[in-house]
Amino acid sequence: MTQVNDAKVLEALLKIAKAHGEDSEPDHEVGDLQDLLRPMWALLTPEQRGAYLASEAVRDMLEGALVDEPTIADIEDVDVVELEAAARYLGTPMPAPENDQDRISAINAYRIRRAAETDPENERFLSGNWSHIFTQGGPDTHTRIVFDKEENRVVAMELHAPRFGGWIQATRSHREDVTDSIVNANPEALTEPEDWGLTSSDAPPTWSLKYIEWPPVASAPRQRGEV
């Protein structure tokens, strides 16, 4: 059997991914690298995964990206009674216990719409498409955002990535970059949102609910007879 130089194979794979991105779109390089990383991760033993995560380069990257990333919500704190109330209020079936994402979205939709009912004139959210260049000399990236005018920041954002079926979640740094672009570089987007293709509303669009952290429903008055 022919001996293979592991280091050379790795460098060849990285070069192929880089060339794909240069020949088409940068997203393609990212997609190729993800396609390479996932099967490798699946083959690692728990001990190997632990060693990999403990390595300096990976640890620094996680501290700069994931540790800094706010959680959507702690699913352990989702009260079944509140989830049942949300399902009744929204007119939807109860999300399956194993589907954490749907449970979080249902709770957030419930809390946001209840809060909106207490102040129906307060259209605190701006949503729509936004183009942004994240790196100097880089490509114009298409995103869709939700800007909370009360918090004065982007609270949900996705990047357009056709390779992955449409949209992927943006990182905290992406959101902060676009927040700075809106608040400091293009403040007219907040005063004249229609001119920038943004829509005002008292509740964010459905696609964003799974990303938004929302205060406890106790902050909104309960309706008579509601659990």
Q: What is the predicted pLDDT for the residue at 20? A: 79
Q: What are 114-160's pLDDT values in tens digits?
A: 777 777 677 889 999 999 998 888 788 899 999 999 889 999 999 88
Residue 58 three-state SS: helix
Q: Which of 7-16, 108-117, 198-207 has the highest mean pLDDT?
A: 198-207
Residues 61 and 111 in one domain: no
* Structure tokens, 33: 């690298």
Q: What are 40-54's pLDDT values in tens digits?
A: 877 877 567 656 765
Q: Could you tell me which residue, 226 or 81, shows the higher pLDDT?
A: 81
Q: Report the chain's mean pLDDT, rounded to a whole number.
A: 76
Distance CA 216, CA 74 (A): 12
Q: Contact, 125 vs 149, CB < 8 A?
A: yes
Residues 179 and 149 in one domain: yes
Q: Contact, 142 vs 166, CB < 8 A?
A: no
Give the model's confidence band at 9: pLDDT under 50 very low, under 70 low, under 90 confident, else very high: confident
Residues 195 and 134 in one domain: yes
Residues 106 and 148 in one domain: no
Q: Report the chain's C-alpha Rg in angstroms.
A: 21
Give the model's confidence band at 199: pLDDT under 50 very low, under 70 low, under 90 confident, else very high: very high
Q: What are 201-223's pLDDT values in tens digits?
A: 988 888 988 887 665 433 333 34
Q: What is the predicted pLDDT for the residue at 226? A: 42
Give the model's confidence band at 67: pLDDT under 50 very low, under 70 low, under 90 confident, else very high: very low
97 domain residue, yes or no:
yes
35 domain residue, yes or no:
yes
Instruction: Mark which of 103, 121, 139 sits at the end of a domain.
Output: 121
